[in-house]
Amino acid sequence: MRKTNKTLRALGYTAPAILTFALVAPAIGYESTDENLWSAKKEGTAWTTRYGECWKSKTGPRSLDPCATVAEVTPPEEITVHLNFEFNKFKVPDNIVNKGEIVKIDDYIAQLKATPEKERVTVVGHTDAKGSDKYNMKLGMRRAEAVRKYITDRGYSHVAPAESRGEMDAKYPETAPAIQRLEDRRVTLSKTTRL
């Protein structure tokens, strides 16, 4: 019994030392990985912390710019997109013949989202001079509403109700060649007020 007590007492003294060594051993030789992280974005740039500090590596390249600065984005006051819809269809982007114009809308939305001020955007539909005034007003409104819906579906909700100017701002008469009248078929997006 005496031998058992001695063994238990010895274990009582050595157990804390063994436990401490077991907990500290993995940390021996451990180097913080925070010092070695580099941006996965553009090669040659370092990450910036949420506090605006630049993470620098002790072992990485020294020729990097000290944290890339983000250029301030300012969306233009107005853009014009010449969307060619399929006949009697008004869904963006599904019914657009010239898909390249949709990229302009997407870029504009991205610029609006990137600005700290939230701008209210007005969407106005225009038509060429062919057809009656009443028909062209409705046509311009359907185009504007389709683009407005596309913008809100992309997550930008600061959009005024759609408007139509119909053929009021048409540059070319009804008798002009079709290629010229295409320029009159458009939707304008313009910043109106800051929210």
Q: Where are the domains of the chain?
A: 2-30, 78-194
pLDDT of residue 39: 44
The CATH code of domain 78-194 reads 3.30.1330.60
pLDDT for 116: 78
Rounded Cα–Cα distance for residues 193 and 122 (Å): 9
Give me the sheet containing 78-81, strands edge to edge: 78-81, 186-194, 119-126, 163-166
| pLDDT beneath 50: ranges in the chain | 33-41
- The pLDDT value recorded for residue 49 is 55
Distance, in Å, from the CA atom of 82 to the CA atom of 95, rounded to the nearest integer, reads 13
